[in-house]
Chain A
Amino acid sequence: MRNVRSLPSYQTYDEIRWNREREYKQAADNIKRLNDAHDRWMTETISLAVEKVEREQGRVPAPFTFVVMGSAGRREQAIWSDQDHGLIFMGSNMMYKEYFLRLGEEIREGMAAVGYPRCEGKVMASHPRWCHSAGEWKEQIDDWIQKDEWATLRHLLTFIDARALLGERMLLNRVKSYVFQQIAGNPCLLGRLAENTSRLQQATNAFGKLLTEEKGPYTGFLHIKDVGLFPYIHAMRLLAMKEGIHETSTLERMKQTAAQYPFVHAKIQPFYTLLNLRASFWEHHRTYEDVHYIPVRTLSKDRKKRIKTALQQGKQLFQQTKKVIESGEK
C-alpha cells in the first residue's frame, strides 16, 4: 500500500485512462498482474482526487483509509470492473464527514473518467452509508446487525471484502475486528449471513449441459461470475468471518482455512480454473457488461468438462460451508 503523499504521478484522469488503455493488454491474462495494475490505476486516481480536493478545500483534515470492496477488495477484478469503495476516517467531527464525502464524490467522478463505471448499488465513498469515521462505522455495523434485514446483512457482507488501498490500514483493521467480535458473540448471525447468499444459480441443466444465456446479445454465453465464482466467494467469505480472517482474496482465504477445513483444499484448483477461464477470454471483453461472459460454443469438450467439475465443486464448497456454519449454531 503506497502513501498518498508520494503520488499522483499524473496530472489528469485522462492521462491515467490512457495509461490504463496502454497497459492492460500486458496484464489481462494474469489475475495477479492485472489486479496489481488495477491497484496502481485506482491508487493514482484516488491520489489525484485527493490533490484536487485539497486544492479546493484545504488539506485532508484527518487520517483516513480508502477501501475497495467487491471484486477489487478481493483482488479478483476482470479487465473491466465497476466501482465499489468506501472511506474510514479518524475522529468524529461533522466537518470531516462533509470533507470526506466531497472527496468521495471526486473519487467517484475520477474513477468513472478512468474507466470504472459507477456502482449501481451506490457502494461508493460518495454515499453517506460508505463514508464514516471509525466510530460511526461501528455504530452502523451494530445497526445493520440489529436490523437483521436482507439488505443490511448484504451491506455487512459487502464490507467484509473491504481492503485498504490507500491511507491508514489500521482504521480498517479496527472496524473489521469489531465485526469479527460481533460474529463471535452472536452464533446466529453467521447462519443469517449464510442464508443471505444461499441462492446459487443453477450451472447445468438436468442433462448435464452448461446453462447459457437463452436470449439477448449473450445468447449461448455462460456468466461465469454468477454461475461459477460466486459460490466460492460466498463460501470463503463466510469461513473468513467465522475465523476472523482479515484477508479478502478468495484464494488467500482458501489457503488460510484449508488446514482447519480439509474440504477447502480440493477447491483451490477448480477456483483457479474458473478465474483463468475468464482471464483467457479477455480479448472478447470490451465493456464492463460483457466481462464475465464466456462463449461456451468455442470451448473444447475437455475444457467444458473441467468447467463443469469446477462449477460442481463450487456448489459443494458452499453447501459444506453452510453445514459447518449451521453446526456451529447448534
Chain B
Amino acid sequence: MDPIFLMNNLWVIMGFILVILMQGGFILLEAGSTRMKNAGHIAGKTIFTLGIASLVFWAVGYGFVYGTSAGGVIGVSDFFFGDFTTIFDGLAGSVDFIFQLAFAAIALTIAFGGFAERAKLAAYVVFAVLFSAFVYPVVAHWVWGSGWIAALGKQDFAGSTVVHLTGAMAAFAATLLLKPRIGKFNKDGSPNELAGHNQVYTALGVLLLWVGWFGFNGASTFGVDDAFFGFAILNTQLAAAAGAVAALLIAWAALGKADVPTMLNGALAGLVAITASAAFVEPWAAVIIGAVGGLAVFYSMKFFEKKGIDDPIFALSVHGAAGIWGTLSTGFFATPELAAMNGGQAGLFYGGGLTQLGVQFISVAACGLFAFIASYVLLLVTRSLIGGLRVSEEEEIMGLDISEHGSYGYPESISASVKKVNTGA
C-alpha cells in the first residue's frame, strides 16, 4: 500500500478523533456556562444527540451532502453508507465519511446551544433528527458537495459557514421560539445575570475545543502532502490566541473588568473565524482575523442581550457573528498562492477585487438565511409533534436534571429550596 495514502488516512482519522473529542469540550463549556440544576442534562444530551447525529448522518445525511447532486441543491445517492471499496478525496470512503460525520455532529451541538436550560428533552430528540437530515446536509452540499455555492468558488476551508453559522442560525431560531429563560430579563427589559455554575469547566471546555480544532482545521487538508496541515494549525493557533487577547482587552477597556466568560468566548470566536480561512491566509492575517473575531464576539453578546434575546451559551455570537466574519475574511485576506492551492480567488487586499468577497457574502447570506428559515420551520414541526418546545415553568425552576432525567448532576449540592419545588403542591 502507498505509505502516503495510509498516512493521509491516518491523519484524517486522527482529525476525526480530535473533532469527536470537541464534544467533550462542548460538554464542559455548556455545563459550566449554565446552572447546576441543569448540568447533568446538558452533559447527557450532548452524548445522546451525538448518537442521533451519527445515525442520521449515516442513514441519509452523507448522501444528501455528497450524493449525486440534484441541480446543485441536494445529493440524492450514497444513503446508508458502507462501501469499503470507495475512494473519495484520495481517502478511503469510510475515513472520509467518518470525518464528515464528526462535523455534522458539531453543527448539531452548536444548534443546541440555543435550547439550553429550557427545552424539553423530546425537542432535542426530534430536532436532532430533523436538523441532521434536512438542515446541515443541505448547506454542506451547497458549499462542500457539488452544490451551487461550491460552483461559485466559495472558500470555506473547514466550515465557518457550513458548521458554525448553520448551527448558530438553528440556535437563533430556537432561542426566538423558546423565549428567554425565567428570570433572564426584568419587566423593563434589563437583563439579569444567570451566571454559569463553573468557570473552571468553561475554561477547560474551551481548551479542549481549542485542541480539538487542530483536528477540525488541520485534518481538513485531507492529507499530509507537504505537511500543509501544519500551516493550517499555525493559523488556527494564532487566531485563537488573538481572539482571547482581543476579547479580554476590549472587555477590560469597556467594562472596567477583565470578564472571564468574554475572554473565553473570544478564544472560541478566533477559532470559529479562522475555520474558513486557515488554508487561505498568511499568519499575520490570521492574527487580525482572530482579533476581530474576539472584538466582534464582545459587541455581539451585548447586542443580543440588548435586544432581549437570551443566548445562554453565546452560540449566536461565538458561532454566528464570528462565523460570518470568518467567512468574509477570506474575501479580504486570501493570498493568490493559497487560493490557487485550495480553490477560489485572491481576496480584496491581494488585488482580487470584490469577486471573492462577493462570493463569500452571497454564501453567508444564502446559507445563513436557509439555515434559519429551515430550522425555524422544523422547530415549528417539532413543536406540533411534541406539544410545545419548552418545559413547564415548574420544571424549569426545579431544573432539567430532575424534570427530564429524574436525577441531579450534582445530587449532594442542589439546595433544599430547589428540591422543595419538586415536592411542592
Contacts and interface: CB of A to CB of B under 8 A. Distances in A.
B256 A219 contact: no
Contacts of B193: 215-216
Interface in A204-228: 204-207, 209, 211, 214-220
Interface in B187-206: 188, 190-193
Contacts of B190: 215-220
A140 B256 CA distance: 39
Question: Which of B188, B190, B192, B255 has the most A CB atoms < 10 Å from its CB?
Answer: B190
B1 interface: no
- Contact residues on B (Cβ < 8 Å of other chain), bracket: 10 to 19
Contacts of B256: 202, 204-205, 211
Query: Which range contains the number of A residues in contact with the other chain?
Result: 10 to 19
Interface in A185-237: 202, 204-207, 209, 211, 214-220
A206 B192 contact: no
A314 B253 CA distance: 21
A206 B191 contact: no
Contacts of B253: 205-207
A202 B188 CA distance: 26
Interface string B230-258: 00000000000000000000001111100
B255 A216 contact: no
A29 B74 CA distance: 71
B255 A211 contact: yes
A311 to B, nearest CB: 12
Grouping DSSP codes into helix (H, G, I), strand (E, B) and loop, the B interface class, with mixed when no group exceeds half, is: loop
Interface in B203-217: none
A217 B256 CA distance: 20
A227 B174 CA distance: 40
Nearest to B195: A215
B65 to A, nearest CB: 42
A215 B192 contact: yes
Nearest to A213: B190
Nearest to A203: B256
A283 B192 CA distance: 24
Contacts, number: 33
A101 to B, nearest CB: 33
A218 B254 CA distance: 18
B186 interface: yes
A287 to B, nearest CB: 15
Nearest to A218: B190
B191 A219 contact: yes
B15 to A, nearest CB: 39
Contacts of B188: 217
A138 to B, nearest CB: 42
Contacts of A218: 190
Nearest to B191: A215
Contacts of A214: 255
A305 to B, nearest CB: 19
Contacts of B191: 215-216, 219
Nearest to B306: A219
A204 B256 CA distance: 8
B315 to A, nearest CB: 20
A216 B187 CA distance: 11
B224 to A, nearest CB: 46
A230 to B, nearest CB: 15
Residue from A209, A215, A218, A220 having most chain B Cβ neighbours under 10 A? A215
Nearest to B186: A217
A214 B192 CA distance: 9
A210 to B, nearest CB: 10
> Which of A202, A205, A219 has the most B CB atoms < 10 Å from its CB?
A219
B252 to A, nearest CB: 8
Contacts of B254: 205-207, 209
Contacts of A209: 254
A32 B252 CA distance: 39
A206 to B, nearest CB: 4
A205 B193 CA distance: 21
Contacts of B186: 216-217, 219
Nearest to A201: B256
A140 B366 CA distance: 74
A315 to B, nearest CB: 13
Contacts of A216: 186, 190-193
A108 to B, nearest CB: 28
B51 to A, nearest CB: 37
Interface in A32-68: none
B364 to A, nearest CB: 30
Contacts of B192: 215-217
A211 B190 CA distance: 16
Q: 8 nearest interchain CB pairs?
A: A206-B253, A219-B190, A202-B256, A215-B193, A211-B256, A205-B254, A216-B192, A205-B256
24 contacts: A202-B256, A204-B256, A205-B253, A205-B254, A206-B252, A206-B253, A206-B254, A207-B253, A207-B254, A209-B254, A211-B255, A214-B255, A215-B190, A215-B192, A216-B186, A216-B190, A216-B192, A217-B186, A217-B190, A217-B192, A218-B190, A219-B186, A219-B190, A219-B191
Interface of A: 202, 204-207, 209, 211, 214-220
Given A215-B190, A216-B190, A217-B192, 10 more contacts: A202-B256, A205-B253, A205-B254, A206-B254, A209-B254, A215-B192, A215-B193, A216-B186, A217-B190, A219-B186
